[in-house]
A and B are shown apart, each in its own frame.
Chain A
Amino acid sequence: MTTATEELTDIHTISVYVANKPGVLARIAQSFARRGYNIDSLVVSPSKDGEFSRMTIAAQGSVEGLDQIIKQTNKLIDVIHCTDHTDDDAVVRELALIKIEVTSPDQRTEALQIAEHFGCKSVDLTKTSMIVMAFGASDKVDACLRMFDGRIIELIRTGKVVMARGDEVT
């Protein structure tokens, strides 16, 4: 998992629009793996038209290397298009479920305050733990996580999803 404070320019959010056919994810994953790139997060979901799917891939690495990967991905027969949105005017969001240890009323109060500050929702509460749902831009989620540091039992992030603003097509 990446944190937003580290070399932001090297984190790329790549959106891939694909025909919904078997093997397409494997082919895309392979074009990253073959060049030694690690995929930080990956979100796959059907598009408004069920024949196509949308993938949002977050990856780190040199611009030249990723440029080559994007070109190779664009070449795949089942890929309609593949774009790097790092410098685009795009909305990038993610969601995290954070399970936090809360064993005393003080801890609970503090956790709820932090959650409220970051606009999180508490979606589960027990005598020993609570689950907080954080969402928004990745750096906001990162900042929220830092506040819970040391008390996180489990963390699950969806990975980034991206959408171009205005008339631009994602």
Chain B
Amino acid sequence: MSPDSTTTQETAKSKDFALRGVREIHDVDPGPLAQMDGAQALIKTLEAEGVEYLFGLSGGAAIPIFDALVTVNPKMKLILVRHEQGGTHMADGYARVTGKPGVVLVTSGPGATNTITGIMTAHMDSVPMVVLTGQTITPMLGKDAFQEADVFGLSMPVVKHSYLVKDTNDIPRITREAFHIASTGRPGPVLIDLPKDITQSPFSGALDDPMDLPGYHPETTTEVDLDEIQVVAEKLKKAKRPIILCGHGVLLSGAYAEILMLAEKVQAPVTTTLLGKGAIPENHRLSLGMLGMHGTAYANKAMVECDLLLNIGSRFDDRIIGQAPRFCKDAVRIHVDVDPGEIGKMIQCQHSIVGDARTVVEQLLLHVDRADTEAWLSHLDSLKRRFPLKYKKQGGLKMQHVLDAWDEMTDSSAIVATDVGQHQMWAAQFCKTIRPNTWLSSGGAGTMGYGFPAAIGAQFGAPNDLVLAVVGDGGFQMTMSELATACLHKLPIKVLVLNNHYLGMVRQWQEAFYEDRESGVDLEGNPDFARLAECYPGAKGFNLKRPADVKKILSRALEYNDGPAVINAEVEKADNVFPWIPAGKPIEDMLLESPKGPQEKPTGST
């Protein structure tokens, strides 16, 4: 170390000119902290950011950082995962439950590329996450070094921002910027690529260098257009058939209490997107449940009939709008979003307000009044009675039956993380979300393998909550190696494997649109999931085959809390999810049961 290197405390003071002389005296005899390297500065910064858990897997280029976890001895815990994708989903689950950024630590090359799916999942769903990747030493960058991957370039389209650190002394500033960017405005993942020579070089900078983000101004999200608020409030007052659509933005901004007040004050019904589940308690009279491709019939019918749509924090995803030009075409459409890039992207609205959902709703509450919606609400009540979510309890075991029973037995109180496919849609329908941040699902990305690791992250974030992972037999096999992680930490997660021996959602499409030609959907060769679980010390396996046993087996699983309980539910092989709006079709074309005869292939994607 050069003689003019400083300790971190002293450097912090060095900004104050009056103390410069004092600092120089200390420079002569630097204290023990002067020996700090970049990796130690990183860990200290993470600790200052309040990081509780690092979900990670070690590797060569990240050894200095893993070493610093021992030498700095911070309070944060390393959760050693079995695959980096699982690690990112855990960080994602942790973030969705706590609202704090999830943190991932992996090595270079394949370690880093394995995180891409998880980063993309978080990016699509605006989940705050900081991903730290080891990298080869800077002189070797771009020379095809061992385990070198241009992860800065590879990750660019799926991050909110990313860094390649070139100077050890930049580590604390960049790390703090990363947390700031990940968790403010519209949240998202931020990646920091850390070459090994940078993390193991001596650190002589300050831990509190100011952030340098001249192009980033999330503070403006609370400055909303008050004139437009008044206009929207007037429209709401006059509406006869209003509907409030809540997306993930409501949860991300913590606006759920305000949404409930708004809905009750106006007496407007509320529907949510898949990710908006929890924005309003789904057992509330004004809740219509989830809308969209597999949403409730009454929510979708309400969309067709409404005269005013107030969308708060949803990006009008193609899963909910069906055919864009016909979506709520005669209604007054209002879009509230924190991201100006979402305004007019999918649906042109007559009114839009750019801003934080909570701020906007708080302002709206000052101006709205009860609207004349009594007739509208009783009409919707009758739609709820006429078109309920339903299934047959007779015959083979149905996914819906198991999920419905779970919801009833747990009073809708559990945190539910799902994978992707038929089980996900049925879980969205039958597992009512009555508290915010207790529904975790990969919405935008549709990432199979998400559910189980996300549940692990959720359990770390909410150790006293009951956590359920609802997975299919396909998705579970993508990340079930994290059973080791769950067992190691004795996490009492319930893993419900809804096993139909199929990639069921694709099979459903093939049945409806491809004359039932099955291709690449038969999961012949599945393991015995209950026995497999018990290979892991601390996990317990359960088998559920008969509809009559649903409550009995679920109770047994609920009683087991020394580790994960894996319930293998052998369900009907070829059931289909309804309601169903085929991709690209208008909401009016919603199917409530299997169509007769061959169907036109959908024009929309997937």
Task: Spell out A's residues near B (CB within 8 Å).
Answer: 18-19, 22-23, 26-27, 30, 34, 51-52, 64, 67-68, 71-72, 74-81
Contacts and interface: CB of A to CB of B under 8 A. Distances in A.
Given A77-B160, A77-B181, A19 B214 contact: yes
Given A77-B181, A77-B216, A80-B214, A23 B340 contact: no
Contacts of A74: 340-341
B112 to A, nearest CB: 16
Contacts of A30: 156-157
A77 B159 CA distance: 11
B215 A18 contact: yes
A34 B157 contact: yes
B213 interface: yes
Contacts, number: 47
Contacts of B161: 76-78
Contacts of B214: 19, 51-52, 80
Contact of B156 (A23, A71, A79): A23
B162 interface: yes
A77 B157 contact: no
Contacts of A52: 214
B369 interface: no
Contact of A68 (B160, B164, B212, B345): B345
A76 B164 contact: no
A112 B258 CA distance: 74
Given A68-B341, A72-B341, A75-B339, A80 B156 contact: no
Main secondary structure of the interface of A (DSSP, over half): mixed
Interface string B162-191: 101010000000000000010000000000
A72 B344 CA distance: 12
A71 B340 contact: yes
B215 A26 contact: no
17 contacts: A18-B215, A19-B214, A19-B215, A22-B166, A23-B152, A23-B156, A26-B153, A34-B157, A52-B214, A71-B340, A75-B341, A76-B161, A77-B161, A77-B181, A77-B215, A79-B215, A80-B214
Nearest to A24: B215
Contacts of A76: 161, 215
A22 B164 contact: yes
Contacts of A34: 157
A34 to B, nearest CB: 7
Nearest to B216: A77
Contacts of A75: 339-341
A25 B335 CA distance: 31
Contact of A67 (B153, B213, B344): B344
A77 B191 CA distance: 13
Contacts of A51: 214
Contacts of B164: 22-23
Interface residues of B, number: 21
Nearest to A71: B341
Nearest to B160: A77
Nearest to A82: B215
Nearest to A33: B157
A27 B156 contact: yes
A-B pairs, 3 with minimum CB distance:
A71-B341, A77-B161, A80-B215
Nearest to B166: A22
A76 B340 CA distance: 12
A17 B156 CA distance: 20
Given A22-B164, A23-B152, A23-B162, A78 B215 contact: yes
A73 B214 CA distance: 15
A75 B339 CA distance: 8
A51 B212 CA distance: 11
Contacts of B341: 68, 71-72, 74-75
Interface in B54-106: none
Interface in B143-159: 152-153, 156-157
A52 B214 CA distance: 10
Nearest to B342: A71
Nearest to B345: A68
A26 to B, nearest CB: 6
A68 B152 CA distance: 24
Interface in B410-441: none
A51 B216 CA distance: 15
Contacts of A81: 215
Given A74-B340, A77-B181, A26 B156 contact: yes
Contacts of B216: 77
Contacts of B343: 71
Interface in B501-535: none
A81 B152 CA distance: 23
The residue among A22, A30, A75 with the most chain B CB atoms within 10 A of its own CB is A75
Contacts of A68: 341, 345
A27 B159 CA distance: 11
Contacts of A19: 212, 214-215
Nearest to B186: A75
Contacts of B153: 23, 26
Nearest to A81: B215
B570 to A, nearest CB: 43
Interface in B333-359: 339-341, 343-345
B399 to A, nearest CB: 36
A68 B315 CA distance: 14
A153 to B, nearest CB: 36
A18 B213 CA distance: 11
Contact of B213 (A26, A71, A77): A77
Nearest to B162: A23
Contacts of A27: 156
Contacts of B344: 64, 67
